[in-house]
Structures are given as structure tokens and as C-alpha cells.
Amino acid sequence: MDYFLDVILPIPLQKAFTYHITEAEADFIKTGMRVAVPFGKNKIYTALAYKIHNNPPTAYEAKTIHQILDETPIITSSQLKHWEWIANYYMCNIGEVMRASLPNALILESETILSRNTSINVDDTSLKDDEFLIFEALQFQSSLKIQDVVSILDKKRVLPVIKGMVDKEILHLHEELYEKYRPKLVRYVKLDNAFKSEAKLQELLDVLSRAPKQREVVLTLFTLQAQNNKPIKVAELTKASGASTAIVKALIDKSVLEEYHIQTDRVQYEGQDNSAIKKLSEVQNEALNAIENSFEEKAVTLLHGVTSSGKTEIYVSLIQKQLEKGKQILYLLPEIALTTQLVERLQNYFGEKIAVFHSRYSSNERVEVWNNLLNNMSKAQIVIGARSAVLLPFSNLGLIIVDEEHEQSYKQFDPAPRYHARDAAVVLANFHNAKILLGSATPSLESYFNATNGKYGIVELTTRYNNVLMPDIELVDLADKYKRKRMKGHFSDRLIQEMSIALEDGQQIILFQNRRGYSPIVECTTCGNSPQCPNCDVSLTYHQFRDQLRCHYCGYNSAMLKNCQACGNASLDTKGFGTEQIEEEVKVLFPDHNVARMDLDTTRGKFGFEKLINNFEQGEIDVLVGTQMLTKGLDFRHVKLVGIMNADNLLNFPDFRAHERSYQLMSQVAGRAGRTDLRGKVLIQTYNPHHNILQQVSINAYKDMFKEQMNDRYNYHYPPIYRLIKITFKHKDYNKVNLASDWFAKSLRQVFKVNVLGPEFPPISRIRNLYNKNILVKIPQNQSLAKTKEAISKIHNSFNAVKDFRPVRVVLNIDNY
């Protein structure tokens, strides 16, 4: 009997791909093991074994696999089920989910490597032209890949030439599959055995009295060893002794110290573990009990607690109980780079049990978390991660916490899978029979809606921990201030006044401006023209620091122009304002105080963000100006005042969620103020002080906001009442995008009638030289989502059958908000 293996390839394929395997292989292979397979003309991929069966594929001749790469599966069966759900729900291929899930180091690299056989002498006059070119290239570099040969010879079919040279033993050829993952080695030192005895040691110290720095190192090593009787890392030694690594190296060279290596996990916790878990207040305890009661009936529960109500401490208690039961815990955060504070806090409680899964960590570091989780190691019993952590191999999951569940960054927009991590986490919990707690001070409308209609449980905390007062929020009318000339730059007299008071009292200030750069738009005061990005349909933003114009969509940049490109006059002026300009103005207003800026431009690099947070915590910064990065659950002790420079550009954003998001953003920024006993003050500058959202923010009226917004969603057929699927068409040719999207929309209308909107160009219709056009499909509550997707797939297939449309990229985005 013949055996076949369906595999998942890490590329977008509609169907699983089938290979021929032997009976022995069929016996050995289990779903979730990696296999190396040939694909296409000369590619090799790492694939995941999916299903074994006896049916040969009908459309092609099955190739055989190259080799089996694992002894045991590297993914779990519930994980695979979860991947399948994601692929199915978000209308993408399971290969794309695999790609998003597996750290790169687990997807082996396949490269055919050619090198010269140096053990024979070659008479190069005997070589044919092609052979000579390859031979010559190998004089200059030690090895070549097949792809290199293709470009050297400038033709596709290179294998026969290579094969001929291999047969003549001019070339070595090896197909090398290597794993990129290498465990990290840490350097340790100890005193050389020669100095074991007290006498020898004394002798050494005497000799070293002429090299006091080296002597100090030896003495420190001695103290460290006495203290905890553990191997001493080089890093620890240099830190404790204050010596440079050069001094340590000198001692190693002299054989006073002996160096050795120990293999360790890359992701390692270096703090002091196990601070006592805080005793919950009465209110917190009630909430904890209510959550546990709710879990009895409902796996999903929403914790709606105002900022600084002590939600995190409640999570800690829940985590503690799961640990005692030996279960795994997933703690999801919107953007992990932004939450080092929280990671530290949890590490202080749970120490080594915490594994952080982080896209900014190296692939190797992620492999370690992966393996620890797969093997149910206590080292990864608690996983903290951003959205992609829901794709990990949990084997024994008991609880998921989705912190700041309203955050938009839980949704992945590009590339596929375009999943929402909170929703995918609800499904994941279900597969594991685990509980899931969604936490927020400003829940998303959809979660609060699910709670009010009984689908989710709900627990509310309405007071801050220790009864700290909610901040006092004041709205400042910009129109009035400008009219009465009470503005300095973008600062009203009220804001300047409050800033002066706070600074005099030695308190800190946060200023929020939702735009980076100096000024969003540069405009010619003579002809009104403003410089545009050549690749995208947007105006360029002025960045004063580099005196540059930059595109925030594609990264295009150029030096600031001296003259208008349209009329040639030297009359370019800046309009609107960003964080950079606010920072400048603060420096002028308060020259004796330190101001810093936190936005994408100042936090690049692995530790850029940590450094800023740290400096602010240490009081080295008095005024922190920033974008929405500031809103992400930061806990600062000495922030007295928060200023929102301009609320209007949030409120006027063209999106059905603009009001909901404005409420969330402003409440969250405001929540950074006065987290200790001193009551915080918040000033919101706006041209519309009577706007309902601003009124609701100022008195913390979440429920009023919810009711009013839900009314709009009913009336205008938006989520959470209706569901949405967005279909985007992309092509560099304007007409093609129009024709393709019109055709698609017409077909959709035959099925879904009035519930199809568009096609329409978005506000920014061209990005990176591609035109974008969108169709929105609205799905009423009583219409089956599955059937809707089926109909869309059918139309998509007919679309692809039209030759002219095929080059147009179609992007499906389910729940695109």
C-alpha cells in the first residue's frame, strides 16, 4: 500500500500539499512534526506534517519528502485546532497562520551550498565557458548558493552544469539543512585551582598589590562566592567590582582566573524574585470573588475597573491560584514593548516562572519560550506576550488575562492572518476549557455589549485603590482663549498656570499630542500648495530635528524645501502641530525644567522606550510629551498634571469608532494623573467643550458613553450590532483598481443587496505606489457569518478566473475594526 502525507507549508496555498512517504515513515511521523520537503523547481521548505493517508493527489505526481526533522511534534493538537479556526474564521491559509506562529529559527533554512574541491588541481583551460565562470567565482568566495549561480550564468537551468562539475569532482555540493537556533552560552569565571589553598591565595594577593584593580576583582570574586556559593558570571563580577572587562581578561590571560561557559536560556530574569503578593483591599477581594463566581457559569468575564483601581493586583491573585493548580497562564498585553513596568512587577511576584514572548526578542529567545511551553516547564508557566502569544503551543492552559482589552493593537492588520488576539484568545480558552478575563478601565463597546446581554460575565470596580480620587478634569475652550489672546503657542493660560504650579511643587507633567513630528503639514502661503509624498496620497510631515520632510506611511523623506515646488516662492509655512513642536514650546516656556518626548521617533531600538520610562520614573524628566504610547497602562507615582493639547483631531477622525476611541484614549491618558494620594488634574484643550464625549470623559461617565454610542451603532448598522468584512483591492494602475472593485461590488450586491458599501477610495488612496479601494460588507445579526463568507469566497474565485483581474491584490479583512 502507498502512503501519503499532507503537509502545511509556510506559504499561502489554498490546499494542503501531498507527498509520498514510505511505510516506515508513515509509522514514525506524527501530526505536528517538521519535515523537509522539495517544492516547485528547486526549493526546499520546512513543512509541518498534517495528515497521513493512502490517497495519491490527482492533480500532480507526489514527490517524496527529504527527511523528517523532529522526533516528536513541535506543535500541540489543540494548537493546530486553534490555527484551523483562525484560518477559517479570518479567511486565510493555514500556512499563513503557521508563518505567523513559528519563530523563524524553527523554520529551517534550506540552501544548497557549492564549494571548490581544493584537493585537486584543475586545468582551467579544459573548462567550458559556464564551468569557468563558476570556477572563477569560487576563487573569490568560498561558497555559492544555487541562486548565485543562476545570476552568475544569467540563466535558470543551472543544475546540469553544476552536476557535471560535481561529477568531475571540481565542486563539492552539499544540501545543508541547518537549524539557526543555538543555545546561548554564558561566560563564568572562577579562581584558578592553583590558588585553592589559603597560602597560595595570600601570595597572589601580595603579588597583586601592585595591580590594585586586579586585586579588587579577585577579592570581589571571593566575596561573591562566599555570599551565595553559585557560579559567578563575568558580567556579575565586573558589575560588583566596578572593573572593566579588560581587567578581568588580563586575569584570565595570567591564569589567575579560569573562564568557562554554561548553556542557558536566553530569556532570563535578573531581578529579585518573590516580593510578597499584596493583600487585596476589601473592594478588590469582593471583585475577586465575583470574578470567580462568574467563572463558574461563564468562561469569559469582563473586569471593568477604573484606572488605578488595582486590577493588576487582582490578576496576580488569580494567577497565583492557577499556579498552585499547576496550570499555564497566558497574560496578553497590547504592546509588550510599552509595558516593561508591568513585566517587572509580575516578575517580582513570580520570578522565574515568567516567560516573556516578544517580537523584539531574537528568534532564538522565542524558540526557548516555545520549547519550555511545549514541554510544560515551570519556567514558562506564565507567558506574557502581545497578540502573537495566542499562537503558542500551550499544553495545559488554565487562565488567560487580556489586559487593556479595548486596545486596537490586538488586531493584526497586515499581513494575514488578520486576527484579533482578544477574540482568538476567547476561542483558545474554550479549546482548553480555561477561563478568560478581559480587563479594562474603558472596555470596547463589543465586550461591554457582550457583558450586558449576558454572553460574558461582568464585574465592576468603580473606585481607585486606597480611595484615591479620580483626577479632576477641566475643559479649556480654545476658541475663547484665542479670541481673548490668552494663548502662547499651543498653550492656554490655564495650562501654563497649572504647569507652573505642578513644577513648583516638584510634580511631573504629561502632555499628550496625538501626532509625532513638528508639524503635519507644510503649506505655501502664496499659492496654497503643500509638498506631497511621491509614493502615497498624503502630505509630507515636517520634522524639525532633522530638518526633513517625511512620509509616515512609506518612510519617504527629503530635505526640507526652501521654495514652494509649485510657485517657486520662498513662502513655505507650517500648519498644525505635532509632539516635536510641543516639546520645543515647553522648552521656551519652562527653560529651567527638563522636557522629553516619547513617540515612535524617540523610542526606536530595543531599549529606547525603557530608558525614557526609567528616566521619567527617576524624576530626571519633569515634562513628558508624547503620543498615544503614553496611554498604555503606565503607572507613574509623581504625575500631578496631564494636558491634552487638542482633543478635536481625535474626535474628528473619519471612522465609526472615532468617538469610542476618543473616550478611551482621553480617559486612559487622564488616568495617568494622580495615582497616589495627591489628586490629579487634567486639562483638555478643545474647540468643542460641549461635545458629549468630552463631557462624558470629564465626569467618567462610561455608561452614558456606551448607551449613546450603541444608539448610533443600531441606527447606522455598525458593530457590535452588525458585523463587518472589508475587502481591499490594490494595484498600481488606477483604472484596474476601479474596474476590479466595481465588478466585485456588483457581484456582492446581487447577494447582499443594500449591505454592500462602496467601492470607495479611503482618505489615503495611494500608499507605496499602490492604489487602494475598499468595499465594506455589513452582516446583520440574523445572517449567518459562515454562509456570508462562503458567498464571498465564491465570488472571489470567479473574480480570479478573469485574467484581467488576477494581478489585482484582494485583501479580506474580517472584523476589520
Residues lying near ligand ADP in the complex (CB under 6 A) are found at 278-281, 284, 305, 307-313, 465, 635, 675
Burial label, 473 (beta-carbon count in 10 A; 0-12, 13-18, 19+) = buried
Shortest spacing between CB 316 and ligand ADP, in angstroms: 8
Exposed e or buried b for every residue in 720-752, given b needs 16+ CB within 10 A? Answer: bbbbbbbbbbbbeeeebbbbbbebbbebbeeeb
Shortest spacing between CB 539 and Zn ion, in angstroms: 10
Q: Which does 553 bind (CB under 5 to 8 A by kind): Zn ion, ligand ADP, none?
A: Zn ion
Nearer to ligand ADP, 402 or 540 (CB): 402
Nearer to Zn ion, 97 or 536 (CB): 536
Q: How far is CA 36 from CA 33, 67, 319, 736, in A?
A: 10, 5, 40, 40
- Cβ atoms of residues 751 and 480 within 8 Å: no
Burial label, 694 (beta-carbon count in 10 A; 0-12, 13-18, 19+) = buried
Q: Which does 526 bind (CB under 5 to 8 A by kind): Zn ion, ligand ADP, none?
A: none
Shortest spacing between CB 452 and ligand ADP, in angstroms: 21
Distance CA 772, CA 724 (A): 18
Nearer to ligand ADP, 311 or 766 (CB): 311
Q: Which does 631 bind (CB under 5 to 8 A by kind): ligand ADP, Zn ion, none?
A: none
Shortest spacing between CB 772 and Zn ion, in angstroms: 13
Contact pattern for Zn ion over residues 707 through 736, marking x by CB under 5 A: ------------------------------
Shortest spacing between CB 420 and ligand ADP, in angstroms: 22
Query: Which cell numbers hold the place of 806?
Result: 488576477
Q: Which residue has 483598481 as its cell numbers?
A: 737
Shortest spacing between CB 675 and ligand ADP, in angstroms: 6
Shortest spacing between CB 312 and ligand ADP, in angstroms: 3
Q: Which does 442 bind (CB under 5 to 8 A by kind): Zn ion, ligand ADP, none?
A: none
Nearer to ligand ADP, 416 or 437 (CB): 437
Distance CA 560, CA 442 (A): 41
- Cβ atoms of residues 328 and 379 within 8 Å: no
Shortest spacing between CB 399 and ligand ADP, in angstroms: 17
Nearer to ligand ADP, 404 or 423 (CB): 404
Q: Which does 213 bind (CB under 5 to 8 A by kind): Zn ion, ligand ADP, none?
A: none
Q: Which does 536 bind (CB under 5 to 8 A by kind): Zn ion, ligand ADP, none?
A: Zn ion
Nearer to Zn ion, 190 or 546 (CB): 546
- Cβ atoms of residues 272 and 348 within 8 Å: yes
Q: How far is CA 180 from CA 102, 109, 709, in A?
A: 13, 8, 51
Distance CA 701, CA 707 (A): 10
Shortest spacing between CB 813 and Zn ion, in angstroms: 21
Shortest spacing between CB 629 and ligand ADP, in angstroms: 17
CB atoms within 10 A of CB 563: 12
Nearer to Zn ion, 401 or 538 (CB): 538
Shortest spacing between CB 658 and Zn ion, in angstroms: 23
Backbone torsion region of residue 193, taken as left when φ is above 0, otherwise alpha when ψ lies between -120 and 50, otherwise beta: alpha
- Cβ atoms of residues 328 and 398 within 8 Å: yes
Contact pattern for Zn ion over residues 478 through 517, marking x by CB under 5 A: ----------------------------------------
Shortest spacing between CB 633 and ligand ADP, in angstroms: 6
Contact pattern for Zn ion over residues 544 through 583, marking x by CB under 5 A: -------x-xx-x---------------------------
Query: Which cell numbers hold the place of 436?
Result: 478568560
Q: Which does 312 bind (CB under 5 to 8 A by kind): ligand ADP, Zn ion, none?
A: ligand ADP
Q: Tell me which residue of 479, 302, 260 sits closest to 403, measured CA to CA.
A: 302
Nearer to ligand ADP, 217 or 314 (CB): 314
Nearer to Zn ion, 71 or 414 (CB): 414
Shortest spacing between CB 313 and ligand ADP, in angstroms: 4
Q: Which does 556 bind (CB under 5 to 8 A by kind): Zn ion, ligand ADP, none?
A: Zn ion
Q: Which does 551 bind (CB under 5 to 8 A by kind): ligand ADP, Zn ion, none?
A: Zn ion
Burial label, 126 (beta-carbon count in 10 A; 0-12, 13-18, 19+) = exposed
Q: Which does 389 bind (CB under 5 to 8 A by kind): ligand ADP, Zn ion, none?
A: none
CB atoms within 10 A of CB 240: 16
Nearer to ligand ADP, 403 or 423 (CB): 403
Q: Which does 406 bind (CB under 5 to 8 A by kind): Zn ion, ligand ADP, none?
A: none
Exposed e or buried b for every residue in 18-43, given b needs 16+ CB within 10 A? Answer: bbbbeeebbeebebbbbbbbebeeee
Nearer to ligand ADP, 667 or 728 (CB): 667
Q: Which residue has 490578576 as its cell numbers?
A: 315
Shortest spacing between CB 423 and ligand ADP, in angstroms: 22
Q: Which does 643 bind (CB under 5 to 8 A by kind): ligand ADP, Zn ion, none?
A: none
**DSSP H helical segments within 549-684, as ranges?**
579-589, 608-617, 648-651, 658-670
Burial label, 494 (beta-carbon count in 10 A; 0-12, 13-18, 19+) = middle
Q: Using the 8-state DSSP alphabet, how is residue 183 labeled?
A: P
Shortest spacing between CB 637 and ligand ADP, in angstroms: 8
What is the CA 690 to chain-centroid distance, rounded?
Answer: 37
> Which residues 6+ apart lie within 8 Å of 671 measured at CB?
306, 307, 308, 441, 471
Q: Which does 533 bind (CB under 5 to 8 A by kind): ligand ADP, Zn ion, none?
A: Zn ion
* Cα dihedral 314, 320, 326, 327 in deg (nearest 10): 20
Give how many residues touch Zn ion by CB under 5 A. Answer: 7
Nearer to ligand ADP, 96 or 313 (CB): 313
Contact pattern for Zn ion over residues 512 through 541, marking x by CB under 5 A: ---------------------x-xx-----
Distance CA 586, CA 502 (A): 14
Q: Which does 352 bind (CB under 5 to 8 A by kind): Zn ion, ligand ADP, none?
A: none
- Cβ atoms of residues 378 and 355 within 8 Å: no
Q: Tell me which residue of 265, 365, 277, 375 sits closest to 328, measured CA to CA.
A: 375
Q: Which does 10 bind (CB under 5 to 8 A by kind): ligand ADP, Zn ion, none?
A: none
Shortest spacing between CB 594 and ligand ADP, in angstroms: 24
Binders of Zn ion in range 257-296 (CB under 5 A): none
Nearer to Zn ion, 254 or 552 (CB): 552
Q: Which does 450 bind (CB under 5 to 8 A by kind): Zn ion, ligand ADP, none?
A: none
Nearer to ligand ADP, 313 or 407 (CB): 313
Nearer to Zn ion, 3 or 556 (CB): 556
Nearer to Zn ion, 34 or 766 (CB): 766
Shortest spacing between CB 286 and Zn ion, in angstroms: 52
The enclosing H or E element of 772 equals strand 770-779
- Cβ atoms of residues 716 and 659 within 8 Å: no
Determine the longest span between alpha carbons in the chain, in angstroms: 95
Query: Which cell numbers hold the place of 796?
Result: 472571489
Q: Which does 583 bind (CB under 5 to 8 A by kind): ligand ADP, Zn ion, none?
A: none
The enclosing H or E element of 382 equals strand 382-385
- Cβ atoms of residues 67 and 36 within 8 Å: yes
Q: For binding to Zn ion (CB under 5 A), which residues are involved?
A: 533, 535-536, 551, 553-554, 556
